[in-house]
Amino acid sequence: MTLLLSHHYEGASKGATVPQKVRESLQTASDLLNDLQVETYSSMERREKTEFILEQIRFLIAVARIKDAEEGKGKDGKDTLGGGEAEWVKARAGGRKVNEQFLTEKENEVRIYADLPNRRSQR
Protein backbone atom coordinates (compact mmCIF):
# COMPACT_ATOMS: atom_id res chain seq x y z
CA MET A 1 0.00 0.00 0.00
CA THR A 2 2.82 2.37 0.88
CA LEU A 3 4.48 1.70 -2.46
CA LEU A 4 1.24 2.54 -4.28
CA LEU A 5 0.91 5.79 -2.35
CA SER A 6 4.48 6.77 -3.13
CA HIS A 7 3.88 6.10 -6.83
CA HIS A 8 0.77 8.27 -6.63
CA TYR A 9 2.83 11.17 -5.30
CA GLU A 10 5.50 10.49 -7.92
CA GLY A 11 2.80 10.80 -10.58
CA ALA A 12 1.60 14.03 -8.99
CA SER A 13 5.13 15.41 -9.23
CA LYS A 14 5.20 14.73 -12.97
CA GLY A 15 1.99 16.66 -13.50
CA ALA A 16 3.02 19.61 -11.33
CA THR A 17 4.09 22.80 -13.05
CA VAL A 18 5.35 24.60 -9.96
CA PRO A 19 8.82 23.42 -8.84
CA GLN A 20 7.81 23.62 -5.18
CA LYS A 21 4.92 21.20 -5.82
CA VAL A 22 7.27 18.78 -7.59
CA ARG A 23 9.60 18.83 -4.61
CA GLU A 24 6.76 18.43 -2.10
CA SER A 25 5.26 15.48 -3.97
CA LEU A 26 8.58 13.68 -4.31
CA GLN A 27 9.46 14.44 -0.69
CA THR A 28 6.15 12.94 0.44
CA ALA A 29 6.71 9.84 -1.70
CA SER A 30 10.24 9.46 -0.34
CA ASP A 31 9.11 9.94 3.26
CA LEU A 32 6.39 7.30 2.87
CA LEU A 33 8.84 4.70 1.62
CA ASN A 34 11.69 5.52 3.95
CA ASP A 35 9.55 5.27 7.08
CA LEU A 36 9.54 1.50 6.59
CA GLN A 37 12.51 -0.62 7.63
CA VAL A 38 11.79 -3.53 5.31
CA GLU A 39 15.14 -5.21 5.95
CA THR A 40 13.76 -6.32 9.32
CA TYR A 41 10.60 -7.90 7.88
CA SER A 42 11.01 -11.68 8.00
CA SER A 43 7.81 -12.26 6.02
CA MET A 44 9.20 -10.62 2.86
CA GLU A 45 11.30 -12.47 0.34
CA ARG A 46 14.85 -11.28 -0.19
CA ARG A 47 14.14 -10.11 -3.75
CA GLU A 48 11.09 -8.12 -2.63
CA LYS A 49 13.12 -6.46 0.13
CA THR A 50 15.90 -5.61 -2.33
CA GLU A 51 13.49 -4.08 -4.83
CA PHE A 52 11.87 -2.02 -2.08
CA ILE A 53 15.22 -0.74 -0.80
CA LEU A 54 16.26 0.18 -4.34
CA GLU A 55 13.00 2.07 -4.73
CA GLN A 56 13.71 3.92 -1.47
CA ILE A 57 17.14 4.88 -2.80
CA ARG A 58 15.67 6.02 -6.14
CA PHE A 59 13.34 8.47 -4.40
CA LEU A 60 16.07 9.71 -2.07
CA ILE A 61 18.30 10.48 -5.05
CA ALA A 62 15.50 12.30 -6.86
CA VAL A 63 14.79 14.49 -3.82
CA ALA A 64 18.51 15.10 -3.25
CA ARG A 65 18.97 16.27 -6.85
CA ILE A 66 16.07 18.70 -6.58
CA LYS A 67 17.31 20.10 -3.26
CA ASP A 68 20.85 20.42 -4.65
CA ALA A 69 19.56 22.31 -7.67
CA GLU A 70 17.52 24.65 -5.45
CA GLU A 71 20.41 25.25 -3.09
CA GLY A 72 22.89 26.05 -5.84
CA LYS A 73 25.76 28.25 -4.89
CA GLY A 74 26.11 30.63 -1.99
CA LYS A 75 26.30 34.41 -2.26
CA ASP A 76 30.08 34.33 -2.53
CA GLY A 77 29.96 31.93 -5.50
CA LYS A 78 31.25 28.93 -3.56
CA ASP A 79 29.41 25.64 -3.41
CA THR A 80 27.25 25.40 -0.33
CA LEU A 81 26.73 22.40 1.89
CA GLY A 82 23.22 21.36 2.64
CA GLY A 83 20.65 21.02 -0.07
CA GLY A 84 20.10 17.31 -0.50
CA GLU A 85 23.04 16.18 1.60
CA ALA A 86 20.81 14.36 4.12
CA GLU A 87 19.18 12.40 1.31
CA TRP A 88 22.57 11.50 -0.20
CA VAL A 89 23.68 10.14 3.18
CA LYS A 90 20.48 8.08 3.50
CA ALA A 91 20.92 6.76 -0.05
CA ARG A 92 24.49 5.65 0.74
CA ALA A 93 23.27 3.93 3.91
CA GLY A 94 20.48 2.26 1.94
CA GLY A 95 22.99 1.02 -0.59
CA ARG A 96 24.82 -0.82 2.16
CA LYS A 97 21.63 -2.77 2.89
CA VAL A 98 21.65 -4.34 -0.56
CA ASN A 99 23.72 -7.50 -0.91
CA GLU A 100 25.78 -7.08 -4.09
CA GLN A 101 26.37 -10.83 -4.39
CA PHE A 102 22.60 -11.36 -4.43
CA LEU A 103 22.26 -8.92 -7.33
CA THR A 104 24.99 -10.57 -9.41
CA GLU A 105 23.01 -13.79 -9.69
CA LYS A 106 21.12 -13.83 -13.01
CA GLU A 107 17.76 -14.84 -11.50
CA ASN A 108 17.94 -11.91 -9.06
CA GLU A 109 18.65 -9.25 -11.65
CA VAL A 110 16.65 -6.16 -10.79
CA ARG A 111 15.99 -3.33 -13.22
CA ILE A 112 14.91 0.05 -12.00
CA TYR A 113 13.72 2.51 -14.60
CA ALA A 114 13.85 5.96 -13.08
CA ASP A 115 12.20 8.77 -14.94
CA LEU A 116 12.12 11.24 -12.11
CA PRO A 117 12.95 14.92 -12.64
CA ASN A 118 16.62 15.89 -12.98
CA ARG A 119 17.62 12.40 -14.09
CA ARG A 120 20.42 12.20 -16.60
CA SER A 121 19.79 9.85 -19.51
CA GLN A 122 21.97 6.78 -19.63
CA ARG A 123 22.57 6.47 -23.36
Examine the pLDDT at 2 and tell me if it is beyond 80.
no
* Cα radius of gyration rounded to whole Å, the chain: 16
Residues in CB range of 69: below 8 A, 6 or more apart: 83, 118
Q: Which residue has the higher pLDDT, 29 or 7?
A: 29
Bridge partners (DSSP) of residue 73 are 79
Cβ–Cβ < 8 Å for 55, 3: yes
The predicted structure's pLDDT at residue 122: 39
pLDDT tens column, 10-53: 776 676 677 788 888 888 888 888 888 888 888 888 888 888 89
The predicted structure's pLDDT at residue 118: 47
Find, among 2, 24, 1, 4, the residue nearest to 117 by Cα. 24
pLDDT tens column, 64-112: 988 888 876 555 555 555 788 899 999 999 999 988 888 888 887 766 5
Cβ–Cβ < 8 Å for 116, 26: yes
